[in-house]
Structures are given as C-alpha cells and as structure tokens.
C-alpha cells in the first residue's frame, strides 16, 4: 500500500536530550509508512540513546562524526544533507537551535544543517526556562524567518520535574507534520501531481484559547475558553495549504498536524509572539484574551491571615486585535478577523466592535448559556463586515471553521 511517505527520504538529526528516546518511536512510525530514514546523532544524543538502537530501527548506517574518513568516502556530509527530501531535527536542543540560528558548523549535525538545500523541520525539547529564555525565543524567530518549520514543544510535566512548555511533540504529531509537509509540498508525488490549494503560499496567523494572568506563582486569572474554534480554524487553514501559525494560550487540545504551534500564557506574551510573526496574509483572533491582568504579581505565594484580604489591583491588557488591525501598512495583514462573543444584541454589538477594533470582519456568536457554545461542539455565527451581515445556520465547530476559512480565502483573493 502506498502512503504519503512511500519512497521519501528523511534525514533525522537526533540532538541531545532525554526526549531522544522518542525519536526511536518516530523512526518506527516513519519506516512503517515506507519512508527511508537516515540518522545523524550528535555527541550529546549518544548519551541518551545508542547508535545500535538507531541503526537497528533505520536499517541504515548511523552518522556521527564529521571527520570520519570512511564516511567521507562512502557519503560526504554535503551529499548526506542533499540526498534527503526533508531534514528533521528531533529533539532540537537549545544548543542545536542556537547553532542553527547562528550558522555554526562545528560538528556533523550542524554542518549538515548549514549545507542543506532542503526544508528543515525541528521539534524543540528542553527545560521550560531554557525554552522561555530570551535567547531561545530570539533564535526561534530567526529560524522561522529562515523558513525552518517548528513543531511543538508541548506543555506538560518535564523530566526535570518542572511544568510548562518544553516537552518534545509526540512522535505521532511529528509524523503528522512530516506527512503534511509532503502532502502539501510542490514535489511531484509518485503517481500524481501536487495540487495548489486556495491558501497555498499564504501565511495565516491564528490566536486561540484563554490567557492566564498570574496573581502569584501558584494562582492565576483565567476564563472558560476551550480553544476549540481556534484549533479547528488552524486545521482548516492547513487543509487549504496555508503556512499556519497557531498562537495559543493553555488548552487541552492536540496540536493540529501541520500547524506551527507557539504556546503562550499571558496576553502580553501573546501580543509579543503575534507581532514577531507579522507580516501574515490573514490574521484571525479567536483567543479569549483576558481583559485585565494583576498590576503587580507577587513573587512568593500570597499567604492568608496576614493583613486581611489581598488587595488585587488590576491593569488593562493590550488589545491584540486592535493593535494588529491598526498596524502600519507593511505589517498589517490584508485580512484581519476578530471574534465577538455576545450574550445579547449580538449583531449590534458586533457592528460596534468592528468599528472600535478597526478590523475587516467580525465573526459574532451568541454565547448565552442556553446556546451551549462555550466548551460545546456547535456554533451559530454571523459575519459582520462593512458590506453587511451574513448569518449562518447552526453547524459543527469544525464545519464552521472549514467554511470560514474558505470565505476568508475568497475575501483575500478579492483584495489582492
């Protein structure tokens, strides 16, 4: 049976990190789908998994050394980097990402990454603090600007005992991103030509989920957004061939295969990541951003009993939608879409919001309790723009997303 990966050649670069054991499972999944997998291991990777396990699973020679004479005779690093259809770095450690961003080439992995002319997909994995460090975030922006695709990291409990973003995406998620790459790539697939879809070559930026605004190290202000509509939109954007970036607050949903996930916690972080991702062709603001944050968060857990109730002073959060809609022309996406969750006067409130935010379109929905939209699977939306109001019947959130994305692609086409 042919699969999307039949006959494809993947060069897997295994970086150092406890997540390296998951790369073995990734190899197994790729082989099962008939891909050819060749692996390079960094010195640090060899501390976590052995060459023997990698070689047994790939059924290929494993490359580790830049200066190995026999390897250079068999296949040089330039050849190694170019004979593959796709390079996958999993786990991508902070060190490897820094090397890639700087163009360093002092071992086989980094040299191969610098010498390649193929697309690169990285699956970062590291400690939460290392991931959130300004240097890593800077390197991540550089890599994305260079066209490197990123999957994960996921939120969760880390091997070091801390909690937060830093866990490598699961092997099935990386596999899905690899499949999406080949399904959407312009490379002719055996037996059929690649198709161009409505958003091929376009970048779609989506915010989703709630934001968490910390009070102290253990408490935060949040809301009930499930993130479902935003995630469904990301899935629909990938399906239409868009480069899809999903900037998401903390939710309990799997990363849509093929989307680039940028996990954030607060409104301020969300704004920063969104701005770093501009320019984009379409920006969709489906996140339920907290309107307020605690003006000064406590460094230590606030204890009760000492001096009465805590005096929580709030400060207003930046309006991300309004900021992007009002950005200078070079940065403003051609189509800026906001969402309005209303419990009464849905259309009138959405019209007011369209003017207030300066966006091109508001997708309004009735979230009054009897409709069961919040956290539910169905939604009734109204599209409010300068040219009028269009009301849709009640549909599944995924169907709403599919139709919305097709509508956005048409509006974008009409604008450009």
Secondary structure element (H or E) that encloses residue 339, with its range: strand 335-342
Pair of tokens at residue 341: 């969750």
Pair of tokens at residue 305: 């009993």
Binding residue for ligand CTP (CB under 6 A) from 178, 320, 325, 354?
320
**Least distance (Å) from ligand CTP to the CB of residue 335?**
13
The counts of H helices and E strands in the chain are 14, 22
45 part of the interface to ligand CTP, by CB under 6 A: no
**Least distance (Å) from ligand CTP to the CB of residue 114?**
38
What distance in Å separates the CA atoms of residue 337 and residue 325, rounded to the nearest whole number? 9
Where residue 111 falls (left for φ over 0; alpha for ψ -120 to 50; beta otherwise) is alpha
Choose the stretch contacting ligand CTP; rule: CB under 6 A; options: 111-119, 158-166, 299-307, 318-326: 318-326
Query: What is the Cβ-side half-sphere exposure of residue 326, based on CA atoms within 13 angstroms?
Result: 11
**Least distance (Å) from ligand CTP to the CB of residue 395?**
19
Task: Determine whether 189 is exposed, middle or buried from the number of CB atoms within 10 Å of its CB (0-12, 13-18, 19+).
Answer: middle
Contact in structure between 143 and 151 (CB atoms under 8 Å): no
Choose the stretch contacting ligand CTP; rule: CB under 6 A; options: 75-83, 131-139, 191-199, 337-345: 337-345
Kindly write out the interface string for residues 185-214 of this chain, putting x where it contacts ligand CTP by CB under 6 A and - elsewhere. Answer: ----------------------x-------
Reply yes or no: is the peptide bond before residue 227 cis, omega within 30 of 0: no
What distance in Å separates the CA atoms of residue 241 and residue 392, rounded to the nearest whole number? 25
**Least distance (Å) from ligand CTP to the CB of residue 296?**
19
Binding residue for ligand CTP (CB under 6 A) from 113, 341, 354, 404?
341
Q: Collect contacts of 55-62 with beta carbons under 8 A, ≥24 apart.
A: 57/24, 57/27, 57/28, 57/31, 58/12, 58/27, 58/31, 59/31, 60/36
Q: Which of 2, 159, 160, 314 is catalytic?
A: 160
Active site residue 160: yes
Contact in structure between 221 and 235 (CB atoms under 8 Å): no
Binding residue for ligand CTP (CB under 6 A) from 110, 317, 365, 379?
317
Binding residue for ligand CTP (CB under 6 A) from 148, 321, 401, 409?
321
Look up tokens 């296949």; give the residue.
75
Question: Which residue lies nearer to ligand CTP by CB, 65 or 366?
Answer: 366
**Positive or negative CA dihedral for 85, 19, 174, 3?**
positive
Enumerate residues 348-407 that contact ligand CTP by CB under 6 A.
Answer: 353
Choose the stretch contacting ligand CTP; rule: CB under 6 A; options: 63-71, 281-289, 302-310, 403-411: 281-289
Choose the stretch contacting ligand CTP; rule: CB under 6 A; options: 54-62, 239-247, 282-290, 391-399: 282-290
220 part of the interface to ligand CTP, by CB under 6 A: no
Instruction: Give the dihedral of Cα atoms 406, 195, 262, 367; nearest 10 deg.
Output: 20
Question: Which residue lies nearer to ligand CTP by CB, 241 or 338?
Answer: 338
**Least distance (Å) from ligand CTP to the CB of residue 221?**
13
**Least distance (Å) from ligand CTP to the CB of residue 393?**
22
Enumerate residues 49-108 that contact ligand CTP by CB under 6 A.
Answer: none
116 part of the interface to ligand CTP, by CB under 6 A: no
Binding residue for ligand CTP (CB under 6 A) from 239, 240, 280, 287?
287
What distance in Å separates the CA atoms of residue 323 and residue 357, rounded to the nearest whole number? 8
338 part of the interface to ligand CTP, by CB under 6 A: yes
Give, in order, the Cα–Cα distances in Å from 277 to each of 109, 142, 149, 332, 374: 27, 11, 13, 11, 28
Provide the annotated active-site residues: 160
Binding residues for ligand CTP, per CB under 6 A?
A: 207, 267, 285, 287, 289, 317, 319-321, 338-341, 353
């Amino acid at each position: 049976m042919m699969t999307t990966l039949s006959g494809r050649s993947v060069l897997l670069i295994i970086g150092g990190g406890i997540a390296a054991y998951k790369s073995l499972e990734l190899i197994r999944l790729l082989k099962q789908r008939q891909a050819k997998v060749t692996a390079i291991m960094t010195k640090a990777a060899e501390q976590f998994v052995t060459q023997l396990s990698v070689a047994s699973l790939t059924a290929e020679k494993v490359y580790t050394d830049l200066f190995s004479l026999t390897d250079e005779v068999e296949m040089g690093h330039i050849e190694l980097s170019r004979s593959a259809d796709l390079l996958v770095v999993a786990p991508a450690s902070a060190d490897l990402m820094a090397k890639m961003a700087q163009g360093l080439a002092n071992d086989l992995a980094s040299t191969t990454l610098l010498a390649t002319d193929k697309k690169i997909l990285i699956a970062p994995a590291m400690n939460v603090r290392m991931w959130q460090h300004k240097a890593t975030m800077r390197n991540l922006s550089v890599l994305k600007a260079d066209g490197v695709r990123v999957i994960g990291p996921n939120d969760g409990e880390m091997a070091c005992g801390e909690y937060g973003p830093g866990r490598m995406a699961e092997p099935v998620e990386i596999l899905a991103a690899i499949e999406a790459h080949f399904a959407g790539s312009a490379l002719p697939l055996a037996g059929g030509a690649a198709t161009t879809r409505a958003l091929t070559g376009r970048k779609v930026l989506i915010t989703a989920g709630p934001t968490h605004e910390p009070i102290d190290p253990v408490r935060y202000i949040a809301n009930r957004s499930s993130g479902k509509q935003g995630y469904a939109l990301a899935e629909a954007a990938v399906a239409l061939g868009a480069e899809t970036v999903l900037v998401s607050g903390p939710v309990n949903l799997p990363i849509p295969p093929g989307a680039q996930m940028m996990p954030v916690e607060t409104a301020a972080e969300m704004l920063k990541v969104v701005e770093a991702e501009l320019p984009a062709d379409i920006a969709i603001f489906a996140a339920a951003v907290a309107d307020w944050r605690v003006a000064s968060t406590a460094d230590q857990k606030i204890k009760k009993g000492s001096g009465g109730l805590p005096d929580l002073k709030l400060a207003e959060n930046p309006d991300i939608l309004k900021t992007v809609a009002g950005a200078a022309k070079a940065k403003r996406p051609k189509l800026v879409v906001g969402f309005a969750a209303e419990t009464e006067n849905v259309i009138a409130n959405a019209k007011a919001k369209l003017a207030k935010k300066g966006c091109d379109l508001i997708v309004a929905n009735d979230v009054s309790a009897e409709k069961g939209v919040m956290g539910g699977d169905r939604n009734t939306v109204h599209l409010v723009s300068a040219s009028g109001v269009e009301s849709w019947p009640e549909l599944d959130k995924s169907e709403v997303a599919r139709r919305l994305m097709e509508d956005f692609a048409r509006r974008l086409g009409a604008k450009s």
